[in-house]
Amino acid sequence: MTSTVTSPPNGVFVPVPTFFKPAADSKLLQAAVDVQTQTEHSVFLAKNGVRGLVLLGSTGEAIHMNRQERIDLISGVRKGLNDAGFPDYPIMAGTLINSVDETLEQLEDYKQAGAQWGLVLAPGYFGAAASQEGIREWYTVVADKSPLPILIYNYPGVTNGVMVTPETYRILAQHPNIVGCKMSHAVVSWHNQVSLDPKIDHNKFKVYSGLGQQLGPIVFFDAAGVIDGLAAIYPKTVCSLFKLAETRPISNENLEKIKKLQYTVSTTEEYIGKYGIVGIKEAVKRVTGYGTLEGGRLPIKGKLPEGEWEKWSETWERIQKAEDALSEKDFK
């Protein structure tokens, strides 16, 4: 366990997609990781209000990468951020496996490569057979030995429906090396229960949602922020919404701004929810210029069906207008 434990800051984190080089340029079995583009996109996010990155999460396709690729990605992004004037920029790195030993090996790699926290996916291979008691014990064993402070990552969509309950969060939040959680599900009540639980030290245990469409409602009730894929495309809009939602007292003027921005974010998140990684990567390329239109690694390779992007034109026009209207004081 780490000797000095720090918690991640409040704000908007981006679960960044992993960028790959064009398949035609690669002599490997799969398209090679594009660390240069990864770094350039990371610096773009840092300059536009994003508080930190999640590398190698679900959107980052860590499960499609080998060990050396994961190490090179984190160390390359860390060096690029340092060179661009963002020393110690917050980086979480994801583990998506169920083996305790391999989880700890990855966390050690990530520490050496420059990440400050591990975002550790709940073990869900066996689905409902994983009891809450078993989940708590699994996380305790990992946290006891982890060289990095860790956050609990609950994404039922990739863990056979496993849900981490508010009681389990309350118990695990007492561990000195567990410093937060990411809830990637739509049970807002559980977000609020954990964010407001008087038995949890919220200066140490930070609660993030994986869904930007919940940003306003959960930040009103003391959540630390979001780890949101839309912010990879429109960082200023999502960061501005967070800044308004965390400001106290909440004036009537700000409340009206929050409502308008939340509607814009929520309607655009429908696209993210429908098309996932392929959709995020296509949007990043079309809007910011980073990456390719080739999607991820197999089996999620490819682009949107012909004409699908254009069906969302009204949504893109709305959020682009919001993004263009924001100045630095609005999102930093």
User: Which residues are known to be catalytic?
Assistant: 182
DSSP 158: G
CB 262 within 8 A of CB 218: no
CB 176 within 8 A of CB 1: yes
Q: How far is CA 306 from CA 19, 223, 289, 302, 309, in A?
A: 22, 39, 19, 11, 8
Peptide bond into 235 cis (omega under 30): no
**Helices vs. strands in the chain: H and E counts, helices first:** 11, 8
Token readout for 326 is 């924001």
CA distance 33 to 56: 12
- 3-state DSSP: the chain helix, strand, coil percent, rounded to 5? 50, 10, 35
Question: Cβ contacts of residue 163 below 8 Å, gap of 6+?
Answer: 154, 156, 185, 187
